[in-house]
Copies of this chain bind each other. A is one copy, B any other.
Amino acid sequence: MRAIILGSSAGGGLPQWNCGCPHCNAARAGDGDVRARHQSSICVSADGERWVLINASPDVRSQLAATPELWPRGTRGSPVRAVALTNADIDHAAGLLVLREGGAPALYCTARVEEALTDGLRILPALEAYGAVHVRRVEPGVATPVRDRDGVPTGVSLRAFTVASKPPPYMAGRHRDDPRGDLAGDTVGFAITADGRDEALVYVPGVRDLDDALRAELCRARCALIDGTFFTDDELVVMGASLKTSRTMGHAPLTGPGGLVEFLDGVAGPRKVLIHINNSNPVLRDGGAARAELAAHGIDVSHDGMQLRW
């Protein structure tokens, strides 16, 4: 099994359109220490020919163009046979609008994500105007062989598991009476395997609550590719960019009590790699102190174009 990191940044990307922080400025200027990054997305394949995109970022056109494995074969057609979504955030779903010519790939998502993209941001009804949209419901806990829109298997299986983060802002306020709360399927992680195999890449680009269920998922994995959005809980507040904390925005911070680094110290087994890095996060600087702190805990930071095998 292979994965290619198509985007390692959080929503907004690096550089973010309206951000003049030192990291974004360095990325614009081509400073060697802070590399430009697309918004988070990966692609996975069992055979190197049929690929499944996990999340469709607004940068997807540029991401596919930068990745020879995903270039079309023939006059029209794409090795991207299906798309699976971990949530309905704009930075994970808006790219579906870009994949419309020739008809969208098969789409795998939870009922809650489908509802958000049908009633909240009407991406799925809009795509119907360009060709039938094949939505396949993902049920948390059930291993699902991923098939293309014609029903042909891709060789990739996904098993979703719910994680507590938050619904996308445009869906805030709905479902207030749902007793499942943040575990209702607004956000999931995926255990990604070859059909019929157990060795998994676990992909969790957004998670706030680091609980026993998540720990068990990660301990079973070969590789954990997980939410590294913010280094500290009050990072945006200190920078003056927002009044929101990391946890308010649905992400466990890396450091501090109850942070991801502490949590991952209790996870034995998998390779540990961060993704979905916000432009404010000091781990973006190659060779910096924050990166060294992670390395001391055996944690890597992904970059665009990085390849993983398991």
Residues of A at the B interface (CB closer than 8 Å) are 11-13, 15-21, 24-25, 27-28, 36, 58-62, 64-65, 71-78, 80, 90, 94-95, 97-102, 120-123, 125-126, 128-130, 168-170, 172, 239-241
Contact B78 A18 (CB under 8 A): yes
Closest B residue to A103 by CB, please name it. Answer: B18
Contacts of A72 in B (CB 8 A): 18-20, 24
Contact of A97 (CB < 8 Å), options: B21, B62, B94, B129: B94
B58 & A130 in contact (Cβ 8 Å cutoff): no
10 further contact pairs, Cβ within 8 A, besides A17-B80, A17-B98: A15-B65, A16-B101, A19-B101, A20-B74, A25-B71, A58-B97, A58-B98, A90-B100, A129-B172, A130-B169
Contact in complex: A64, B17 (CB < 8 Å): yes
CA distance A21 to B75 in the complex (A): 5
Quick check: A77 and B20 within 8 Å, CB to CB?
yes
Contact partner, A13, options B16, B27, B36, B61, Cβ 8 Å: B61
A123 touches B125 (CB 8 A): no
- Report chain B residues within 8 Å CB of A122: 120-122
Judging by beta carbons under 8 Å apart, are B101 and A20 in contact?
no
Complex CA–CA separation, A28 to B21 (angstroms): 31
With A17-B78, A76-B20 given, is the CB distance from A126 to B121 under 8 Å? Answer: yes
List the B residue with the shortest CB-CB distance to A64: B17
A266 to chain B, nearest CB (A): 34
Which of the residues B13, B20, B94 comes within 8 Å of A75, measured between beta carbons? B20
Question: Closest CB of chain B to A155's CB: distance in Å?
Answer: 20
In the complex, how many angstroms separate the beta carbon of A99 from the nearest chain B beta carbon?
6
What residue in chain B is nearest A130 (Cβ atoms)?
Answer: B169
- Give the residue name and chain of the B residue nearest to A60 (CB): B17
